Amino acid sequence: MSFVRKSRTQVDYTAKVVLVGDCSVGKTCLLFRFVSNEFMSASYISTVGVDMKIKDIDVNGTKIRLQIWDTAGQERFRSLTHSYFRGANGLILVYDLMNPETFHSVRHYMSSVKSEADEEVILMLLGNKSDVPNKEKRVSYKEGQDLATEYGIPFLEVSAKTGSNVMEAFHALATAIKVKMHDEADDQFDLSDYVKKTVPDKRQERSCCI
């Protein structure tokens, strides 16, 4: 894995991040929310192949340019999608809280990550559409957390529609990338612990409003 250092611009580093998950889990909407802080309407067209957007983020005084690759979830594009794992600094696996099949697909993607991605790639698991009522959810918070714990990666429930935890997720990933860039704290930095300490648990907040 390599990081690109920018010495003559205001950006210190450029990092490659890849969004991966089945079709319609909301990867494009999550990316649009992060980059533009707006919700993309349901009329958008599914990603064909790959798309990429750029956003600069400040992490404790270090400016990191995230090149975020939005990959298609359709089966026919998976070989192309997997090729983008190589050289990635971060991978965000996304599933739909209302669709258990997309949750089960995470294991397939993790298998491909292990074979295609760099060993030191930073991983994160996101369950999207946390804004829906609990009665419509088909994947529990515990299931998501258990899977993330099994793989030793951080987990968050997020909502591209409301923006809940979206900025926090990308900022946490960028923080972990910064740590790896500078070899700061070495093994003392744990992204899962960082997420638990810095991102508020909003489950109770949602339950009171449903």
Predicted pLDDT of residue 104: 97
pLDDT, tens digit, for every residue of 27-65?
A: 999 999 999 999 986 555 555 458 899 999 999 899 999
pLDDT, tens digit, for every residue of 171-187?
A: 999 999 999 887 655 56
User: If phi over 0 gives left and psi between -120 and 50 gives alpha, with beta otherwise, what is residue 21?
Assistant: left
Helix axis angle, 141-151 relative to 100-116, nearest 10°?
10
Sign of CA dihedral 26, 27, 32, 38: positive
State both tokens at 98.
Answer: 């209302």
Q: Which CATH class is domain 4-207?
A: alpha beta
Q: What is the mean pLDDT of the chain?
A: 86
**Domain regions of the chain by residue span:** 4-207
pLDDT, tens digit, for every residue of 103-122?
A: 999 999 999 999 999 999 99
- Answer whether 64's CB lies under 8 Å from 178's CB: yes
pLDDT, tens digit, for every residue of 116-170?
A: 999 999 999 999 999 999 999 999 999 999 999 999 999 999 999 999 999 999 9
In this structure, the number of other CB atoms found within 10 A of the CB of residue 34 comes to 22
pTM value is 0.87
Rg over CA atoms, the chain: 16
The owner of tokens 């794992």 is: 85
